[in-house]
Amino acid sequence: MNRDRQEIRVLVIGTDPARAAILEEGLVADGYARVMVIHSLHNLAERVVLLDPDVLLIDMAGPDREALESLYPVLPGLKRPIAVFVDHADGAMIKTAIEAGVSAYVVDGLKKERVRSIVEVAISRFRVFERLSRERDEARLKLADRKIIEQAKGLLMARRRLDEEAAYQALRKAAMQQNRRLVDIAASVITAMQLEL
């Protein structure tokens, strides 16, 4: 999200118009030109998905805090930077918010002058989390691929009486000849040898 602030769509959710106005004014004053505000919680999850904001700011200090909490199950699917403003700290709420993907949890800090830095922190934390998640997923995929390749090598070694290097080279040669990934060839070898049983 390396875009100019004028292009970033920010959605402010809060049932207290005065508090939501503080967030909106702070955003506009700092150059965020595409600010949307929702005061009603009716069909909130669907409206958030429909509006498709780049950043989400949620004020949970109002009387409808419980209704806003119903949004938490939807947040992980949004994959957006999210900042939550609350009036007091609550350990269970913080845990729930973090598990839901909240990037910044601000306790008693609803001030127009702070909005820009909070949005920037939320965006930065979100980027770090996304990068770490991507790296974790890539590592898991590589590990899964490695297991399939090792299993195929083991089968080739046992059935064709090859040493480990020869089994690997046979897989590699087949992958190059067929212009396919090594793991795909390994999976084919495993399937073919299982059918031989």
Domain architecture of the chain: domains with CATH: 9-133 (3.40.50.2300), 135-196 (1.10.10.10)
Q: Measured between alpha carbons, how far is 49 from 74 in angstroms, rounded to an integer?
A: 9
What does the pLDDT average to over 120-140?
A: 92
Q: Which pLDDT tens digit goes with each residue over 81-90?
A: 989 888 877 7
Average pLDDT over residues 2-13: 84
Predicted confidence (pLDDT) at residue 1 exceeds the cutoff of 80: no
Residue pLDDT, tens place only, 144-181 = 999 999 999 999 999 989 999 999 999 999 999 999 99
Do residues 83 and 102 touch, judged by C-beta distance below 8 A? yes
Q: What is the CA radius of gyration of the chain?
A: 25
Mean pLDDT of the chain: 86
Residue 179, pLDDT score? 95
Helix and strand element counts for the chain (H, E)? 8, 5
Query: pLDDT tier at 2 (50, 70, 90 boundaries)?
Result: very low
Single pTM value for the model: 0.70
Segment holding 106, helix H or strand E: strand 104-107
Is the pLDDT score of 59 beyond 80? yes
Given a cut of 90, whether residue 66 has pLDDT beyond it is: no
pLDDT at 42: 79
Instruction: Centre a 10 Å sphere on the Cβ of residue 63 and count the other Cβ atoms it contains.
Output: 8
Read off the pLDDT of each residue in 121-148 and give the average, rounded to a whole number: 93
Has residue 64 got a pLDDT over 70? no
